[in-house]
Amino acid sequence: MSEISVNSRAGIRRVLVTGISGNLGRRLAPLLEGYELVSADLFPPPADVRAGEFHRVDLSAPEGREALARLIVTSKVEAVLHLAFVVDQVRTGILDRERMRQTNVEGTRRVLEAVSEANRGGMQVRLVVYLSSVSAYGTGQPAMIGEDAVLAAHSLPYAIDKRETDLLCQRMFEQLSGAAMYIFRPHIYAGAGIQNWLIDGVCGRASGRGRLARWVRRRGWHVAVALPRGANLGNRIQLIHADDVARILAWTVKNFRAGSLEVFNVAGEGPMTLEECVRLSHTPVIRIGREGTVRMLLRAFYALGVSAVPAEALPYYLAPPTMDTSRLRAALGENFGEVVRYSTRAALEDSLRG
């Protein structure tokens, strides 16, 4: 695969960002100063976020997907950065699995169809960026997998949807009438203010919304990481700082190869073992029986509102995938150190400060 080159003919001026109100969208917005920004989300962004021309849309509903499609076709946007995705059902309040899938999979499908429609009369949308995930690879993969590895996500609904949408983007690329398609597969986000199933678990956070979780948080207690007795704490974990992902996305708007399909693994340098992660965060580990026992405990904590970590995430603790990021390093070239600034350890340390 060849290195990304600056496409001076692109002349991107008008950019649409879906999911602007999410943690990543809020970090990306200030990096897009100088562009005409159009944005969309289920919820309005905070007042201090530069969201440009904001549109409130619900991608779980057909009318919301159609509203976003009309926006892509009529607003004359030249780049679409599709970040909107239900990651955490508890925090978004989208607890219904089918509604989650409608948002994630059918929402992405309609975005791609709209780009195709916008480009039928001539090139309007020149770039589509889709944010996939390391979770699309599934678990139990060989160490340092490349972008050509099979996507084998299982059990975790978020991961299954990421796999389906990643493959959907690849299949529909030829229908985009010349638009470039960039698929990024970032590892688990870290950084101050970031909350997700891995960071919350490793940091021992009571991440649920229940009364018991609030009581635990007020006391500053750590929730132990529960693992089966045979779990290997030597399994390596990669992280990526959310600020680095935002910088990669902003860089791509200026530096992309016209009309090409590109796929990149994204992770910070220097994987850490699970043991190193929990030691750094001072989170206790308890070993209780077999994997089925741990799943029951995770389900109980989830039901009680103590934790937002789903039982289906357990395999991603026990056998997390690690990715080869040499393709991204080659693409960024001399800009790599300026764009990807955090190692896995530095990203986790920043999470602990937050």
CA distance 99 to 106: 10
Residue-wise pLDDT for 161-196, tens only, equals 999 999 999 999 999 999 999 999 999 999 999 988
| Of 200, 215, 238, nearest in space to 352 by CA | 200
Domain 14-190+239-268+322-341 belongs in CATH node 1.25.40.10: no
Cβ 234 vs Cβ 273: under 8 Å:
yes
Tell me the whole-structure pTM to 2 decimals. 0.92
Reported as a pLDDT band with limits 50, 70 and 90, residue 94 is low
Residue 280 — left, alpha, or beta (φ > 0 → left; ψ -120 to 50 → alpha)? Answer: alpha
Give me the pLDDT at residue 273, please: 95
Q: What is the mean pLDDT of residues 79-94?
A: 77
Token representation of residue 208? 């649920």
Is residue 5 predicted with pLDDT exceeding 50? no
The domains of the chain are located at: 14-190+239-268+322-341, 197-235+272-318
Reported as a pLDDT band with limits 50, 70 and 90, residue 1 is very low
Higher pLDDT, 83 or 86: 83
Residue-wise pLDDT for 49-75, tens only, equals 999 999 999 999 999 999 999 999 999
Q: Which residue has the tokens 């910070």?
A: 268
Q: What are residue 180's DSSP bridge partners? A: 127
Q: What percent of the chain has pLDDT over 70?
A: 95
Residue-wise pLDDT for 100-146, tens only, equals 999 999 999 999 999 999 999 899 999 999 999 999 999 988 889 99
Instruction: Return all residues near 329 (Cβ < 8 A) that are at least 6 apart.
Output: 336
Is residue 7 predicted with pLDDT exceeding 70? no
Cβ 154 vs Cβ 141: under 8 Å:
no
Mean pLDDT of the chain: 92
Between 71-80, 94-103, 242-251, the lowest mean confidence (pLDDT) is in 94-103
Q: What are residue 17's DSSP bridge partners? A: 39, 81
Reported as a pLDDT band with limits 50, 70 and 90, residue 335 is very high
Backbone angles phi, psi at 203, to 5 degrees: -85, -5
CA distance 150 to 22: 29
Cβ 281 vs Cβ 348: under 8 Å:
yes
Which is it for strands 180-186 and 261-266: parallel, antiparallel or unpaired? parallel
